[in-house]
Structure 1
Amino acid sequence: MDILRSLVIGLYLEQPITWLHKIDPRVKLFWLLTFLLSPTLANPLWRIGIVVILIVLTLSSGIPERVWKQQMALILVLASLVFSLIAISADGLNVSHQPRRPIPEVTLPQPTNYQYAWKFSAIQVSRRSLDVGIRVGALIFTFLYAPTLYLLTTSPEEITTAISALSSPLKRFKIPVVEITLTLTLALRFVPLVLEEIQNLVRAVRTRAINWKKLGYKRAIALWLVVAERLVDNLFIRAEQTASAMEVRGFTNPNHHQVRWTNLKLMRVDFILGVILIMFWGLRIWVGGTN
């Protein structure tokens, strides 16, 4: 099992370079925050619209089919499963209530305009459960897939550069912006190393053809604890090697060594997307609010 190839969520697509890759990372970061914040306290129609926009962006961006199918399928199946379970669930718990006064002999049914949206045999989908299912399913897809699409089309260096540029006013308050962005970059670059170490240890255990049934639970747990300890040791070794390499290259003091990852330059398409972003929020305030 190749973990580095099977775990596709959160990876960066280097080739081919799509039009989403060419957008300024700061603009993409604002759009990411928009996709994450605009569904909050929005009506179900707006949340479904956000899901449709993300799918259309993926299909129109030129990302290879093999990539977006792996990226989107798992999250879409999860969101659909949650929507289905909530939609067929009851509106709430049936709580028995004992009235203080005696129950009259004849009780007339109270008029109500509440009707089930769909009913088949024992399965009933009410308006409230359908509304809650759409809300939760759309939020799950949006909150998981929007950052995935952002990471797929934005390199770690561009992400840290955008965060560093947007956080530059915090330097007046003596906040170590350079150290924070450098740490973030190292963390993003360290994730593939962690996956590689896990993959190597799993392959090492599989090549020994261990009979897990004969080991029993206690010995199996002890073996996995040894593997986990070895994983931690290997990660500390990798971290020490990275720190030594940085010291050799002069990364000793952020004031002494200025970190420049990439040059940020706003193009015409970035200004157009900025105007569309403002219009998007205006439309959200106008028609996207809760009913």
Structure 2
Amino acid sequence: MNKLLLGRYINGNSLIHRMDPRSKLALSFYFIGIIFLANNWQTYLLLIAFTFLGVLLSKIKLSFFIRGIIPLVWLILFTVLLQVFFTNGGHVFWHWGPFTLSKYGLVNGVYVFFRFVLIIVMSTLLTLTTSPLEISDAMESLLKPLKYLKVPVYEISLMLSIALRFVPTLMDETAKIMNAQRSRGVNFGEGSLVEQVKAVIPILIPLFVSSFNRAEDLATAMEARGYKGGEGRTKFRVHVWKLRDTMTIIAFAVLTIALIILKN
């Protein structure tokens, strides 16, 4: 099974599932912003505890969130190593050419690692507890003021919703194509860099063909159902703001105040 969880939704009846998708989407972006307020172990410990509480309230197994981190582990490690060896400050443990291993670099690398993990976990929490259709409705609602500036809000939210919905589908399609190519004797990840690049070509061509065919079928289906854009369309799913959404906003406000107090 594909490990990438972006765009996957797990049906449930937890407190997080029942929240208004508008509040979940807005608070997810807000959380990413306030992460940068943390600059010591106390603030990061507070953010970790807050995120872990959200995972518990979602009633989704922790293994799902770990699976969401694994595909991006190399990107995280690469970014952490850049911070560790190219950040100067404090006691210097090792130095060679442009590379420096210092106390400040190690501390900054640890902070960057936790920052990445927290962002991934919070983003995964959003997608696992909110269906793509709900995310699309939330985006359209939050971007609604831009309609006065002639921005095609409905079309933008629809495109992002379709893209998010088909990410796991395309990844599953990639896995099937790779298995088919392996059965024909193609070795991925072996040989020189040029050979590895050549091995990717048998994947890209059928994947592009399949993607364009899927897009054409989707467009034909939408036209057959009389789709003519968002103007004049009524809403089948009506979202209602409830007390739990207000209480969650208050919790995030308390978190922000605590981060400001605890930060250096």
Alignment TM class, shorter chain as reference: 0.7 to 0.9
Q: 1:58-91: per-residue Cα shift (whole Å, max 9, x none)?
A: 134311354344346777898699779967x697
**Does residue 26 of structure 1 match 2:22?**
yes
Cα distance in 1 for residues equivalent to 2:91 and 2:194: 56
How far, CA to CA, are the matches of 2:196 and 2:106 in structure 1?
45
Which one of 254, 257, 260 corresponds to residue 282 of structure 1? 257
- Stretches of structure 2 lacking an aligned partner (at least 5 in a row): 94-100
Q: Choose the corresponding residue for 2:45, options 5, 27, 48.
A: 48
Closer/same/farther in 2, CA of residues 151 and 60 from structure 1, 3 Å limit: same
Where does residue 182 of structure 2 map in the other structure? Answer: 206
In 1, the alpha carbon distance for the partners of 2:174 and 2:219 equals: 21
In structure 2, what is the Cα distance between the partners aligned to 1:133 and 1:220? 31
Q: CA deviation at 1:223?
A: 5.8
Per the alignment, residue 243 of structure 2 pairs with 268
User: Could you say if the C-alpha distance between residues 195 and 259 of structure 1 is closer, same or farther in structure 2, counting changes exceeding 3 Å?
Assistant: farther
Name the CA distance, whole Å, in 2 between partners of 1:147 and 1:226: 32
* Cα distance, 1:159 vs structure 2: 0.9
* 2:177 aligned counterpart, secondary structure: helix
Specify which of 188, 193, 206 is matched with residue 169 of structure 2.
Answer: 193
Cα deviations by residue, 1:103-155 (Å, 9 ceiling, x for unpaired):
xxxxxxxxxxx779xx9xxxxx9652453233212212122222122111111
SS at match of 1:38: helix
Q: Distance in 2 between matches of 1:228 and 1:200?
A: 12
Among 221, 227, 248, the alignment partner of 1:245 is 221
> Counterpart of 1:263 in structure 2: which amino acid?
V
Aligned to 1:163: 139
Unpaired stretches in structure 1, ≥5 consecutive residues? 94-113, 120-124
CA distance 1:68–1:268, shift in 2 (3 Å): same
Within 5 A, what are the aligned runs for 1:66-215?
66-71=63-68, 92=88, 127-210=103-186
Q: Distance in 2 between matches of 1:155 and 1:254?
A: 20
- The amino acid that maps onto 1:269 is R
Q: Distance in 1 between matches of 2:214 and 2:65?
A: 32
Cα pair 2:3 2:68 within 8 Å, conserved: no
Matched, 1:61 2:36: no
The structure in which a higher percent of residues are helix is 2
Report if the CA contact (8 A) 1:83-1:134 is conserved.
yes
CA contact (8 A) 2:88 2:105 kept: no
Give the conservation status (yes or no) of the 8 Å contact 1:157–1:261.
Answer: no
Q: What amino acid sits opposite 2:259 in the alignment?
A: R
Aligned residues: 255
Instruction: Report if the CA contact (8 A) 1:24-1:265 is conserved.
Output: yes
CA contact (8 A) 1:83 1:137 kept: yes
The 3-state SS of whatever aligns with 2:12 is coil
Which structure has the larger Rg over C-alpha atoms? 1
Give me the identity figure in percent.
Answer: 26
- Contact 2:2/2:171 (<8 A) preserved: no
Please, what is the CA RMSD of the aligned residues?
Answer: 3.6
- List per-residue Cα deviations over 1:84-103 (Å, max 9, x = no partner): 9967x69739xxxxxxxxxx
